[in-house]
Amino acid sequence: MNYIRTGISLFFEYDTPRIVHIQSKKVGVINRFIQFCIIGYVIGYAIIFKKGYQDFDNVQSVVTTKVKGIVMVNTTVHPDIQPIWDVADYIVPPQENNAFFVITNLIVTPNQSIGICPEDSTIHGSNCTVDKDCPAGTSLPVGNGVLTGKCDPDVSRCEIHAWCPVENGTTKAPKPAVLEESKKFTVFIKNNIEFPKYSVKRRNLPDNVSNDYLQSCRYDGGANSRCPIFTLQSIVEGANSGSYGEVAMEDIVSGTGSRYDELSGQGGVIQIRIKWNCNLDLSVDKCLPEYSFRRLDSSTYKISKGYNFRYSRNFKDANGTEFRTLYKAYGIKFVISVSGQARKFAPVPFFTNVGSGLALLSIATIICDIVVLYILKARALYKEKKYLQVVGDDAYKVLD
């Protein structure tokens, strides 16, 4: 019953704010301190640091790459490998979206032709004692061919119909890598970007440069940081790593922290990040890219390290018999990602931040009220001054 009475009386009440001017050093200091913090936050952090006076637009971008460089392979060490490797040989596939792959190491199985031969010994399930162990027409899960149904008695392995002889699974990737000199290859990264909201188009090379400049300049993160030509070694090891092998690790700046000789053996994945953060309130010429590099795969794994795949080159001999050379190619996949924002002054975010800052100032009043009404010694006095109970009907009667 009491609840209902209280509820009804609450319904017939009205609270209106009242200004109580308190002259107290303590409360005054607390109030000013909180106001100062809030104003500091709004002006210093929200408006200046977080650029709350500017509108923004995200970058839209397209990247193309061109790698150049030639390697000569020592054919006495690697007799099965062609002596000269140029860009058409080591970049596979020739074009990718926002990425390129460079072959750095190889296991070659030359002169394969279609025929019958024993399965490779490292393939699980290839060992046999009788023909029954090799059901005809099936293939082993990671096998190289289709089982003929016969067990080869000489090597005790199932016979397969395949490109023969099959790749030897026990062969390890050569060390040092066959194409380790690929560290000297250069890649031209051409990045065109646009901030559509502001109709601003930029690219990562100066407009007034010549072909000669492009052919000779190299990105170094310093004086030549506008040059869009990178050596693969500088991407992996850092911009100051030109003299490979002689550079102390602490001298290597902004690389991936890996060494090219380690990476080239088993392959890996490297990310090239291009950041465009532009303040369009300043000159558009100051809108420049920043590059950073990191290794995406881990070198610490024991099994399935790096990155490799197989491909073949087929040819016919004078009799018209088809042959192929099978390549197990290890290499570095470079993935390019572009991100960024352009910012420019705009009244709407500016006034929104100022408005929300002004609204935040009421926090100072709330905190001071708590101090005054519940913490200070004279809280009873302040409470009495702050709340004035007026019974409306009685007041009306008094007026009468």
Ligand X SMILES: Nc1ncnc2c1ncn2[C@@H]1O[C@H](COP(=O)(O)OP(=O)(O)OP(=O)(O)O)[C@@H](O)[C@H]1O
Residues that bind ligand X in the complex, under the rule CB under 6 A: 66-68, 186-188, 211, 214-215, 229
Pick 80 or 86: Cβ nearer ligand X: 86
The CA–CA distances, whole Å, from 24 to 89, 304, 362 equal 83, 73, 19
Q: ω into residue 176 within 30 of 0, thus cis?
A: yes
Nearer to ligand X, 214 or 247 (CB): 214
Of 186 and 234, CB closest to ligand X: 186
385 is in an annotated binding site: no
Q: Which is nearer to ligand X, 95 or 111 (CB)?
A: 95
Beta strands at 157-164 and 186-195: parallel, antiparallel or unpaired: unpaired
CB nearer ligand X, residue 216 or residue 362: 216
Residue 316 known to bind ligand = no
Cβ-based neighbour number of residue 348 at 10 Å = 8
Of the candidates 213, 249, 246, which has an alpha carbon nearest to the alpha carbon of residue 229? 213
CA–CA dist 197, 114 (Å, integer): 59
Of 131 and 181, CB closest to ligand X: 181
**25 in a labelled binding site:** no
* CB proximity list for 398: less than 8 A, separation 6 or greater: none
236 known ligand binder: no
Nearer to ligand X, 104 or 308 (CB): 104
CA–CA dist 322, 332 (Å, integer):
31
Residue 236 and residue 230: Cα distance in Å, rounded? 10
d(CA 268, CA 334) in angstroms, rounded, equals 9
Quote the CA–CA distance of 154 and 385 in Å, as a whole number: 108
Q: Is 18 annotated to bind ligand?
A: no
201 marked among binding-site residues: no
- Identify the helix (H) or strand (E) that includes residue 38: helix 25-40
Quickly list DSSP for 189-219: EEEEEEEGGGTEEEESS-TT--HHHHHH---
386 is annotated as contributing to ligand binding? no
Structure tokens at 396: 């009306």
Least distance (Å) from ligand X to the CB of residue 282? 29
Task: Please tell me the distance from the alpha carbon of residue 361 to that of residue 31, in angstroms, as a whole number.
Answer: 10
93 preceded by a cis bond (ω within 30 of 0): yes
Q: Give me the least distance between CB of 162 and ligand X, in Å please.
A: 39
Nearer to ligand X, 216 or 314 (CB): 216
Q: How far is the CB of 211 from ligand X (least distance, A)?
A: 3
| C-alpha count within 13 angstroms, C-beta hemisphere, residue 58 | 3
Find, among 29, 47, 171, 26, the residue nearest to 110 by Cα.
Answer: 171
Q: Residue 217 CB, nearest distance to ligand X (Å)? A: 8
310 is in an annotated binding site: yes
Sequence ranges of the binding site: 66-68, 186, 308-310, 328
Sequence ranges of the binding site for ATP: 66-68, 186, 308-310, 328
